[in-house]
Amino acid sequence: MVLGAPNYRRALQQHAAYCEALEDCGLTLTRLEADEQYPDSTFVEDTAVVTNRGAILTRPGAASRAGEVERIAEVLSRFYSELHFIHPPGRLDGGDVCEAGCEAGYEAKRGARSHFFIGISERTNEAGAQQLADWLASHGFTSSFVDIRGVKNMLHLKSGLAFLGDNRLVVSDALADRDEFRGHELVRVTAGEEYAANCVRVNDRVLVAAGYPGFTGTLQDLGYPTIALEMVEFRKMDGGLSCLSLRF
């Protein structure tokens, strides 16, 4: 699909609507000033993995994005007493990391901590994924790898995967038969609506890209109130809803 060049004015409008939706869902936002040196820096999710136990700064797979991490570290230092980092030869994009509740197959209990799916992609390599897995394990989290190299039109794992809570994973058709997701209830996004798989649950609502009535209807049938947001300008840059914020 040829989408054309992004329109800057419309991108700003869509970003403002996204921020407003997060606030409507009950979040308090920290807005960063634009950084003209890094045109991809609006996709802030790729620069860090944040949890309720700590934060780790990534090492983005695109060399042009390396400078973004320093700026995010300054911001996250306000919220975390200690920050960790991915080191060479590791490469890691936050868009390849999906927190998915307690590990499937384990009984939920007080104090149980989340399981993380870590994508191995063109942006995240095995060394970076392993560093993240080791760091997560040191904080009591579990993790597993999902190799998406060679999956067509999937830049990051979360291009085709999202966690809704309630042991439910949203998956695109390309990921629906993967063994890694057994034990979860899968909410499939059908062919033609793949972009909608990158949705975000915030408290009791789900942010979803506008223009995908089939998937939006599926979410509503499952009992999730939805907020549809125009994301066309960010799709032109291989971005989605989760890419535009770090949420913790």
Q: In whole angstroms, give the CA distance from residue 156 to residue 140.
A: 25
119: which 2 tokens?
């994508």
Q: Which of the following is catalytic: 25, 98, 199, 243? A: 243
Active site residue 243: yes
**Of 203, 239, 172, 93, whose CA–CA distance to 229 is shortest?**
239
Q: In whole angstroms, give the CA distance from residue 87 to residue 57.
A: 9
At residue 192, the 3 state secondary structure works out as coil
Active site residue 19: no
Adjacent-strand bridge partners of 207: 200, 227
Q: In whole angstroms, give the CA distance from residue 37 to residue 67.
A: 9
Q: Which of the following is catalytic: 25, 98, 115, 156? A: 156
At residue 229, the 3 state secondary structure works out as strand
CB atoms within 10 A of CB 1: 5
Rounded to 5°, angle at Cα 41 from 195 and 76: 110
Residues involved in catalysis: 156, 243
